[in-house]
Structure 1
Amino acid sequence: MAEEVTASRRQFLKAMCACCAVLAADLPSAFATTSEMEAHLDAAKQAAGSDLVTYLRLADQAAPISGLPPVSPQELMALPTPEPGKVFDNLYFVGNSWVSCWAITTSDGIILIDAMDNDAEAQSIVIEGLQKVGLDPSSIKTIIITHGHGDHYGGANYLKNQYGCSIVMGEPDWKMLETALDFDTPDWGRPPVRDVSVEDGSVVTLGDTKIDILVTPGHTPGTITLVFGVKDADKTHRAMLWGGTAFNFARRDDRIERLQTYIDATERVRTLAKEQAVSVFISNHDLYDGAVAKLAQMKTGGDNPFVVGNETTLRALTVMNECAKATMIAWKA
C-alpha cells in the first residue's frame, strides 16, 4: 500500500512540475521550433527582461528558454516554512515555499485566499501564521479558492469547521470537484462541499473591502483571478492575484482547448490591468512572484518590492501569453 501511495505521489509531482522542467517522458528528444514559435519565444524573453525570468519556465515545455533548473514541489514543501509577514496594511502572506496563502484584513474580518494542502498545514501554517503577525484566525469570514487543485483547497474544510467561514470558488471548478478531479494525492484534504459560486464580474464583499472576480480559465476550467485594493500608509495600489499560472494539463484530451482559454484570458486581463493601472502583481506560488524573497527584502527598508508598477504587470501577462502561444504551436506539431 505504501508503495502505491508513493507511486501516486510521484505521478502527481511529475504532473505539477510540468511547467517548471523539461520532462523527457513527455517531450521529443530534440526540440523542433518554427519561425512562428521562435517569434513568440523571443517576445516572451523580451517582455521578461531580467526581472521576470521565472515566468519563462512556462515555455520550457515548448523549448528550454528560461535557463532555470528544474523545480521539485516536494523539495520546496520540505523546506522550513518561511516566516509570515505583512505585505501591505491590509494584506499578509502566510504560506510555504511552494504554495502561497494570502490574508486580506477588512473592517469585518479576514478574507483568506487559498487554504494550503491539508488540515495540518491549515493549522501550522495558516492559523499559526496569522497569530504570529498579530491577527485572530477566528475572524476568518471568507475563503476564496483560486482554483480547484488540492494544494489550494486542501485545508478549507478544516478552517470552515473551525470558524464557520464561507468558501468561494468559480462555478466550473465546483463542478470539477463534484465530478472528476484534475489531480489528487493522499497528501491533500478532501474537496470542500459546494458553497458560494462566483462568475466573471462577481464581487466578493466583506466589510469595507470589495474583491473583483475575473474568470481566467486554462489552469483549471474555473480558475479565478482577484483584483482588489491594497493600502500602504496613505497610498492605495490596485493589486491582482493571478489564479493559476502553469500549463500542467498536458496529458488531458482537452489541453488545446484549455490552453486557448488561457491565451484569451491573459489578453483580456492585460487590457483590464492597463485600464485599472494595476501595480501589484502576485501569485499563489512563490515560484513565480518571489513573495518569500520580497518579504525578506522588506525587512531592510526602502520601497515596497511588491509594488512592481503597471508596466511590469503588463510585461508579466505578456510573458505568460507569449509562452502559452509558443506552447500551443509545440503541442499542435
Structure 2
Amino acid sequence: MATQRKNSGQAFPLKTAALAAVAIVLAQGCARTPQQQAPSEATVAAHVAGATRAARSDLTALLTLCKPAPAARPPQAELDKGLAAFIARPAPPPGQAFDNLYFVGADWVSAWAIKTSDGIILIDALNTQAEAAALIEGGMRKLGLDPAQIKYVIVTHGHGDHYGGAPYLAEKYRARVVMSEADWTMTETKLEFATPIWGAPPKRGAGDISAKDGDRVTLGDTSVTLYLTPGHTMGTISPVFDVTSNGQKHRAMLWGGTGFNFGKDVPRLDSYIGATQRMGAIVQTQRIDVLLSNHSNIDGSQAKLAALRQQPAPATNPFVLGTPTVERALAVMGGCAEAQRDRFLLQ
C-alpha cells in the first residue's frame, strides 16, 4: 500500500513501486490489441453502439461525446462569442454535495471545495477573477465556509475556464496552485485557447506544485491523489479523494477533462482512450463510487444539488452512483473517443 510522510501543506509522490504499477496499468490501457479492426464506418458505428449500451438510460449526457467532433479548433471570434454566452448564464446557488464537499461554481463550469481539518482544497477556479470573487468566495460564505482557509487550488487542466480565477485566489489567500508539468508548460508558453474573456493563467511561484502522476496533496485529515489522464489536454489531472455522506465514506473521482475540442489529433485521442481504460481499472480497485465533473452538464450536479436541497438527508445521496456505474461512464467516454479516432483516421 502506498504511503507518504505526514505533513499538512505538502504534496508527495507515491512510493516507486506503486508508481511502477501505475505505469504498467497505463501501458496496458494504451496498448492496442492485435485483433483491432482497421477503421471503417462499421467500426465507428460499433464504438458508438457500445458506448450507447454502456450509457443505458442514466448516462446519456455523456453520449454527446459520440457526436462527430470538428477537425479544426473554432475561429477566435466564434470561440469568444460562445464563451461570452456561457459566462452570461445566471449562476446556480452554491450547494453541499457531501459532508466535506461543496459546489461553488457557475452554470457552465464547476468549482468544488473540499473541507479538511486544516483548511480547504479548491478544485478549479472558474473563468475570471470576477467569478472567483462572486461565486467561489461568495458561495463559500453562503455555505458557512471561510475563503481565507483556501490552502490549495488544484487546476484540473490548463484552459481558462478552470484557471481564470486562480491568480486572484493565490495572491489574496497565499494559496498554492497545483497543475501538471505539461499544463504549466503549456500555460507558460503557448496557450491552446487564448482569449481576453478569460483571466490570465497563473504564474508559477516558488510554493506552487507541478504535479506528477500519483502525487498526493495532503491537508489535515484529507489526501487527494492526482492521476494524469491526458487527452482533453496533455496534462489533465483527475483527482481522487474520500467524501462522506451522513457519516458514510465514499470514494470520489473528478474526471478532469471531457470534450474533444482539440481538432484532428489521433495520438491525443489514443491518450484519452488509454486514460479511460487505465482509470477504469483504478475505479474497480479502489471501489470509486462517485463521479464528478468540472462541468455540471456532464455530472448533472445542479439537479443533484437541487434534490439534496429539497431533501437534506435522503436515504441515498444522488451523487453516489456505485462503482459499476462509474466504470460504465468511463466506458462511454472511451468508446466515444474510439469512434472519433476512427472518424479522423477515415478522413
Smaller-chain TM-score range? 0.7 to 0.9
2-side partners of 1:43 and 1:287: how far apart? 22
SS of match in other structure, 2:67: helix
SS of match in other structure, 1:219: coil
What is the Cα deviation at residue 50 of structure 1? 1.1
1-side partners of 2:58 and 2:44: how far apart? 23
Would the aligned equivalents of 1:266 and 1:320 in 2 still touch at CA under 8 Å? Answer: yes
What is the Cα deviation at residue 62 of structure 1? 6.0
2-side partners of 1:58 and 1:33: how far apart? 19
Would the aligned equivalents of 2:69 and 2:260 in 1 still touch at CA under 8 Å? Answer: no
Matched, 1:203 2:216: yes
Matched, 1:186 2:193: no
1:1-20 equivalences in 2 (<5 Å): none
Would the aligned equivalents of 1:73 and 1:98 in 2 still touch at CA under 8 Å? Answer: no
Q: Counterpart in 1 of 2:129? A: 119
Q: Counterpart in 1 of 2:64? A: 57
What is the Cα deviation at residue 77 of structure 1? 2.8
Q: Counterpart in 2 of 1:44? A: 51
What is the Cα deviation at residue 91 of structure 1? 0.2
Would the aligned equivalents of 2:178 and 2:210 in 1 still touch at CA under 8 Å? Answer: yes
Unaligned runs of 5+ in 1: 1-31, 64-71
2-side partners of 1:277 and 1:73: how far apart? 36
Unaligned runs of 5+ in 2: 1-38, 71-81
Q: Counterpart in 1 of 2:293? A: 283
2-side partners of 1:73 and 1:62: how far apart? 18
- State which of 201, 204, 212 in structure 1 corresponds to 2:225: 212
Q: Rate the CA distance shift 1:117–1:62 in 2: closer, same or farther, 3 A.
A: closer
2-side partners of 1:234 and 1:58: how far apart? 35
1:141 alignment partner AA: K
Listed one character per residue, the Cα deviations across residues 139-165 of structure 1 (whole Å, up to 9, x for unaligned) are 000000000000000000101111011
2-side partners of 1:130 and 1:49: how far apart? 35
Structure ranking higher on relative contact order (CA contacts 8 Å, 6+ apart): 2
Q: Counterpart in 2 of 1:102? A: 112
Matched, 1:130 2:137: no
Runs (4+) off by over 3 Å:
72-76
What is the Cα deviation at residue 79 of structure 1? 2.3
Matched, 1:328 2:341: yes
Would the aligned equivalents of 2:84 and 2:197 in 1 still touch at CA under 8 Å? Answer: no
- State which of 88, 94, 114 in structure 1 corresponds to 2:98: 88
1:138 alignment partner AA: A
Q: Rate the CA distance shift 1:75–1:62 in 2: closer, same or farther, 3 A.
A: closer
Same amino acid, percent of matched pairs: 51
Listed one character per residue, the Cα deviations across residues 188-240 of structure 1 (whole Å, up to 9, x for unaligned) are 11111122101111111111100011000010010000100001122100000
SS of match in other structure, 1:86: strand
What is the Cα deviation at residue 299 of structure 1? 2.0
Q: Counterpart in 1 of 2:4? A: none
Would the aligned equivalents of 1:115 and 1:156 in 2 still touch at CA under 8 Å? Answer: yes
Q: How many pairs were matched up? A: 291
With the length of structure 1 as denominator, give the TM-score of the two structures: 0.85
1:226 alignment partner AA: P
Matched, 1:243 2:259: no
Q: Counterpart in 2 of 1:34? A: 41
SS of match in other structure, 1:44: helix
2-side partners of 1:242 and 1:98: how far apart? 16
Q: Counterpart in 2 of 1:297? A: 307
With the length of structure 2 as denominator, give the TM-score of the two structures: 0.82
Q: Counterpart in 2 of 1:315? A: 328
Listed one character per residue, the Cα deviations across residues 2-37 of structure 1 (whole Å, up to 9, x for unaligned) are xxxxxxxxxxxxxxxxxxxxxxxxxxxxxx961111
SS of match in other structure, 2:310: coil
Q: Counterpart in 1 of 2:7? A: none
Q: Counterpart in 1 of 2:33? A: none
2-side partners of 1:230 and 1:294: how far apart? 16
What is the Cα deviation at residue 185 of structure 1? 1.1
SS of match in other structure, 1:97: coil
1:165-180 equivalences in 2 (<5 Å): 165-180=175-190
Would the aligned equivalents of 1:62 and 1:326 in 2 still touch at CA under 8 Å? Answer: no
1:293 alignment partner AA: A
- State which of 303, 306, 310 in structure 1 corresponds to 2:319: 306
